[in-house]
Amino acid sequence: MTMIRMLAALALLAGPQAAAPAAAQAPQVSADDVALFYRVYDAAGGAPDGATLQRDYLGRGSAGLARFAELRRITGEAIAAAIAKNPGFYVEARQCADALPRVLPRVDASARRFAELVPGTSFPPVTVAIGRGRPVAVGEARGAYIGLEALCAWKAPDPDIANRMVRVIVHELVHTRQRGLAERTDEATVLHAALVEGTAEFLTELLTGSIAYGHLQRATKGREGAIEAAFLKDVDRPAVGSAWVFNGSVAAGDTADLGYWVGYRIVKAHYARATDKRQALLDILAIDDAQAFLAGSGWTPGMEMDE
């Protein structure tokens, strides 16, 4: 499918016939910035310089792209350097964009399911764009932002790009609806960050059938007790610079970001023991005290859970 045909398919999916019921308030997903990037990229023969990317791509992109760039230090020079270092990322991402028409109905279905579980839920826009090779994605109250070239290259969770994209978008959409700890990222501890990310992973599983970081589930099989006992020793350490969170990359192995998986297991334990599941979800989305939540979750290192 060409880029023009892909955008036409996206327009059809975004039309009235695919609109979610008012109660669901499904997110609007835009890939306009991807098309803009490739116009600039092609005009420069696949090697645009930093100034051109800054002026013709970042300078003319959407408000979502501008916010993504602000949050993750994406500049024209940084993108040009990433293209020079990993040119294959940007060739492959064009092909991955063809998966978007298959992704959007599944994201819409997950949003509807979320609204059934947590009535009144609505979502901010999702921007699919091209960045500097990282990060894969980020979510905040204002929106979710997907770096298509990074997500396309990050095959570890699932070799199927549509599956990866659906679950990463849903993971980030959960972040947009979190409160409490999720709004206080400065000086976060390992436990704090693990619960924020673990919440997004747990809701992604609940809504799509699998966590986004599926490779962590496979990599930790049979080692749950040892990994989680080690995690407990580091819960009060600063998250940034730790061995547990925010240390992943497209090229990272299966030991990166293990805190996402431990946090998911803690959140899942809390939900499993709750008698009022709807209230449990509301509590999970608004975790405000990391230590109190851990203490009341019923989680213990290595405990068995339904897969």
DSSP string over 209-220: SS-S-HHHHHHT
**Amino acid at site 19:** A
Distances (CA, A) of 115 to 26, 204, 283: 9, 13, 16
Please state the pTM of the whole predicted model: 0.89
Is the residue at 128 inside a domain? yes
Is the residue at 301 inside a domain? no
Q: Which of 249, 107, 96, 92 is nearest to 169 (CA)?
A: 107
% of the chain exceeding 90 in pLDDT: 80
User: Final residue of a domain: which of 155, 177, 199?
Assistant: 177
Same structural domain for residues 222 and 287?
A: yes
Per-residue tokens: 279: 């209230």
Same structural domain for residues 170 and 198?
A: no
Same structural domain for residues 31 and 110?
A: yes
- Is the predicted pLDDT of residue 1 greater than 70, yes or no? no
Which secondary-structure segment (H or E) carries 174? Answer: helix 161-177
For residue 256, the model assigns a pLDDT of: 82
- The SS3 call for residue 140 is strand
Is the residue at 37 inside a domain? yes
Same structural domain for residues 44 and 135?
A: yes
Number of domains making up the chain: 2
In angstroms, rounded to a whole number, what is the distance separating the alpha carbons of residues 196 and 206? 16
Say if residues 89 and 24 touch (Cβ distance below 8 Å). no
Same structural domain for residues 157 and 38?
A: yes
Same structural domain for residues 33 and 171?
A: yes
Same structural domain for residues 79 and 219?
A: no
Report the mean per-residue pLDDT for the chain. Answer: 89
Summarised one tens digit per residue, pLDDT across range 11-69 is 333 333 334 334 446 789 999 999 999 999 999 999 999 999 999 999 999 999 999 99
Summarised one tens digit per residue, pLDDT across range 230-241 is 999 999 999 988
Distances (CA, A) of 215 to 132, 149, 210, 243, 263: 23, 19, 11, 17, 15
- Per-residue DSSP letter, 126: E
Is the residue at 303 inside a domain? no
Cα 50 → chain centroid: 27
For residue 249, the model assigns a pLDDT of: 56
Average pLDDT over residues 110-126: 92
Summarised one tens digit per residue, pLDDT across range 126-178 is 999 999 999 999 999 999 999 999 999 999 999 999 999 999 999 999 999 99
Is the residue at 305 inside a domain? no
